[in-house]
Amino acid sequence: MQLPNPLKTPSWLQKLQWITDPVGYVENAAQQYPDIFTSRIIGFGDTVVIVNDLQAIQEILTNDRKKFLAVGEFNRITEPWLGKNSVLILDGSRHKQQRQLIVPSFHGERMQSYGQQIRNLTENVFSQLPLNQPFLARNITQEISLQVMLHVVLGLDEGERFQKLKHLLPLLLDLSHSPITSSFFFLPFLQQDLGAWSPWGKFLRNREKIDQLLYAEISERRQKPNSERVDILSMLMLAQDETGQLMTDHELRDQLITLIVGGYETTASVMAWGLYWIHKKPLVHEKLLQELDTLGDSPDPMSIYRLPYLTAVCNEILRISPVLLFSFPRVVQEPVKLLGHSLEPGTVLLPSIYLTHQREDLYPQPKQFKPERFLERQFSPYEFLPFGGGVRRCLGEALALFEIKLVLETILSRYQLVLVNQQPERLVRRGFTLAPASGVKMVITGRRVPQESLVNMANTPLS
């Protein structure tokens, strides 16, 4: 079978480029074949067809239960982290059942209840940073993201279990911090437990300690139920399927780790990119501050979430610096034609988020950061897809967007920051995700007083 537009680079070299420089790899390929090409990479089988034509992506994502099946098997490389019950790995009725149990935790009044908590956590982290001393924005946004995971997702407050998880969770994720260590997940033969000091041995021991803490928390909650709690773990423990079944302890553990792994790295990177782009573009920064200043001193979290320019800025961050290269893989189920190419059953398709967001015909001057493009027109779910699409669209999308907007609003409203240098940041691999290469080095130069507060101060009579 002749697959569409196979890349001519030797297979071993493609795999090496994919691990070390995935963005450069797909960009070079798209210059040769702009809409569809066949690639030899690791993690999705030996051969995959990468697609970034809009009509083709729409066809794939709208037929992902039958013609182009979203198969959890291709996320098996994440099983050492997430566990075999993870919604990312499950298929068919079990996937649908677990997804239906998780989704309600991210909507409605519950989101509102997380809002002030997220803003307070952000202020607590930032208030500890010294003035005029460089820091890496991504380290700070990771700390904020971790705090959100511990407080909002797990419902933990200060205490021994909180402190242990705060220490251990970053260690579990640290194995994916560079292209080289990421290869442990892509190359199973490296997964050898050679003792506590070996990379894989350390990973396994950290995972075991985290599991003990999570199972202890779940057991304690089962023994002392509290209907007043609104954290996501508590919501998941109450969730029932149509037969009245609750999640098992193993299912709870795996979905919690999936939410933490899926939300910790990714959200931290988006927030760091946000601070980079906003401070890289003075006019964007100024316009955003003007909008934020209309909110007053104690804004309602949902009012922040609905701000049009802040929303446009966040969308542009997600477009130009997506945290994922691809949407969930799809497998062809029956002989089909896609863009004039015949595809046989078993062919693996990867809709490319990054390449779609870089299309000149869709986003003119795609390398330019221009939030206005999201105010000037509405993009379809096949043109703008930072959270993937179809039946495998990211479950945590609502919480992620809520968190990103509230964190950026809190920082920008209260602090004056500058970039340490004007060198362009690059997208690089960080495990299964993309992140800013140098972490975005910044300095806090002072606290900020909103314009409205200045006006109020000027109008207040002296006593």
C-alpha 153/C-alpha 259 separation (Å) is 8
pLDDT of residue 226: 84
**Is 123 in a helix, a strand, or coil?**
helix
Instruction: Give the pLDDT score at 258.
Output: 87
Q: 393: closest CA among 49, 64, 7?
A: 64
| Amino acid 180: pLDDT | 52
Determine the pLDDT at residue 309: 98
Buried b (16+ CB within 10 A) or exposed e, 357-375: bbbeebbeebeebbbebbe
Q: What CA–CA distance (Å, rounded) separates 131 from 299?
A: 26
Beta strands 415-419 and 441-447 are antiparallel
The mean per-residue pLDDT over the stretch 302-322 comes to 97
Percentage of residues in the chain having pLDDT higher than 70: 89
- Alpha carbons 433 and 443: distance in angstroms, whole number: 26
Most confident of 52-66, 258-272, 308-322: 308-322
Mean pLDDT of 9-24: 92
| Cβ neighbours of residue 23 closer than 8 Å, sequence gap 6 or more | 325, 354, 426, 427, 428, 434
Question: Residue 291: its pLDDT value, please?
Answer: 97
CA distance 420 to 442: 5
Q: Which domains does the chain have, with CATH numbers?
A: 11-459 (1.10.630.10)
| pLDDT bracket for residue 439 (50, 70, 90) | very high
Question: Any idea what DSSP says for residue 248?
Answer: P
